[in-house]
Chain A
Amino acid sequence: METILKVENLNVKLDDELIICNLSFEVKEGEVFTILGPNGAGKTVLLKTLLGMFPYEGKIEWKKGIKIGYVPQRVPFVKDFPISVEELFRLKTKDKKEVKETLKLVGFDESFLKKNLGEISSGQYQRILVGWALIGKPEVLLFDEPTSGIDILGEETIYQLLERLKKERNLTIILVTHDLSVVFKFSDYVICLNKCSVCQGKPQEVVTPEALSKLYGQEIKFYNHYHAH
């Protein structure tokens, strides 16, 4: 498999505080790569640094000409924002056909185009944002903390959606989460981050109780998901 992202000795300092120390990893094509860690561990900063939003030391090397889609964490959900789903998408592309296709891809029918952003649920809003990220047909999707929320019976969860997108669009997915079950069920490679890397590798091999207590700084209850796949 081709390497699409190579990071070497990455250090990120913001306002003289070291946020990320000495990270090195590679992301392979078609992989689900998770960044696991407690709040304040630098997960979001890492994602934004990969996107070029923060200055850094070290090396970040994306595959040449790669297209990246990005779903940020908790986009403020503005009720009464007088904008329709279609108008939101049209801020990114002029192509009406792509807007319709993208909407279908994230599980909505065409009638949804006319919906006002204030009328939709936060789960639906998250899907819309995934749709937003998919416009322009990116090869890799960076997703900051998907919230699973309450799954309505019969409805596709956000992770099922990502699984499907991965197959249909041949996506590589880089995911930030603090949800362990996501790591075990869903990802091929994990990096446990608390400023520096605490562990990294295949989830079944590296996410051990010891690694977790080191990551979260205390004993946490650990469910064995070794046979989840």
Chain B
Amino acid sequence: MLTNFFEILISGIFVGGVAGYLGSLMLSRKMTIVVDPLSHLALPGVALALIFQKDVSLGAFLFLFFGTILIWFLEQKTKLPTEAIIAILFSVSLAVTFLFLSTEEIEKALVGDISKIGKTESLIVVLISLFVFFLIQKIYPKLTLISISEDLARAEKINLKKYQFLYLLSISTIVALGVKFVGGLLVAGLTALPAASARNFSKNLKTFKFLSSFFGILALIFGIFLFKIINFPAGPLIVISGFLIFLISIIFKKKLKLRI
């Protein structure tokens, strides 16, 4: 019997909403492509946290943070495209994870484990989610312009590096929170799926942002309830819920275009 269902649900709603909101920022290919590999960078951090019995989000965040800086550094030094660098770090981080963890722990690291979220933890999750929400809100207009055209952004004297860094920081934080719920392998599903579903219904940015957050919340709620009922790992259930929303969105795509 779950005694902490309420805590799980509340933190899920916040993480799902902000992850969906963040997903709506991934307008261009270049911005989408970094999330998946970046989230895998969290894995060794999760592994270490499990070994030392610390909070997985903390471990994930530390690794993501240093990973992001490392990506930056390698980018400057090698002039390889960001995607290539992330792919390199990604395979290394997976290898390291598999080296150190037992099979049972590997499962936790890969697909998440929400059964242990308590009162303090959920409060922290809510606060950090709110912080990231406001951060995203602040950088949203400039990042939108950057994804439309870097030239236009430069002409407006926008500091591209700064905004890309804040973008990566937002992703790192959400991924770190997300690993609790869906693990390091599935976390891209929290951002990409709601945004893809929302895009099918949206004619403008306002609708897109709103629906993407909304679908993110919906997927978390469905997934967590399914988890309570059938007692399978919540991570895959949450991602599958997101996928079902996506399927429905494809069916209604032609009929519904919304402007809020």
Number of contacts between A and B (CB, 8 Å)?
Answer: 63
B144: which A residues are within 8 A, CB to CB?
83, 91
Give every chain B residue within 8 A of A70 (Cβ-Cβ). Answer: 151-152, 155
**A211 near B: Cβ within 8 Å?**
no
**Inter-subunit contact A51/B148 (CB<8 Å):** no
Known contacts: A75-B149, A91-B144, A91-B145. The answer to whether A84 contacts B154 by CB under 8 A is: no
Q: Does B206 contact A (CB under 8 A)?
A: yes
- Which one, B3-11, B12-20, B63-71, B197-205, is touching chain A? B197-205
Chain A residue numbers with a CB within 8 Å of B141 are: 90-91
- A132 at interface, CB cutoff 8 A: yes
Q: Chain B: interface residue count, which band?
A: 20 to 34
Would you call B154 and A53 a contact (CB within 8 A)?
Answer: yes
Size class of the A contact interface (CB-based, 8 Å): 20 to 34
Chain B residues with CB below 8 A from A217, complex form: none
Contact residues of A between 28 and 78, Cβ < 8 Å to B: 48, 51, 53, 68, 70, 72, 75-76, 78
| Minimum distance in angstroms from B26 CB to a CB of chain A | 12
A116 within 8 Å of B (CB atoms): yes
Within 8 A of A (CB), among B119-156: 141-142, 144-145, 148-149, 151-152, 154-156
A106-124 Cβ-contact flags toward B at 8 Å (1 or 0) = 0000000010100000000
Pair B151/A72 contact, Cβ less than 8 Å: yes
B181 within 8 A of A: no
Contact (Cβ within 8 A) B204 A116: yes
Say whether B27 faces chain A, with CB atoms less than 8 Å apart: yes
Bound-state CA distance A76–B152 (Å) is 11
Task: Other than A51-B155, A72-B151, A114-B259, give 14 A-B pairs with Cβ distance below 8 A.
Answer: A48-B151, A68-B155, A75-B149, A75-B151, A76-B149, A81-B27, A81-B148, A82-B208, A83-B27, A83-B208, A84-B203, A91-B141, A114-B204, A116-B203
Give 10 pairs: A residue, B residue, CB < 8 Å, sorted on A. A48-B151, A70-B155, A72-B151, A72-B152, A78-B148, A82-B198, A83-B204, A84-B204, A84-B205, A87-B206
Binding site for B on A (CB under 8 A): 48, 51, 53, 68, 70, 72, 75-76, 78, 80-84, 86-88, 90-92, 114, 116, 132
8 nearest A-B residue pairs (beta carbon): A72-B151, A84-B204, A82-B202, A82-B208, A70-B155, A75-B149, A83-B205, A87-B205
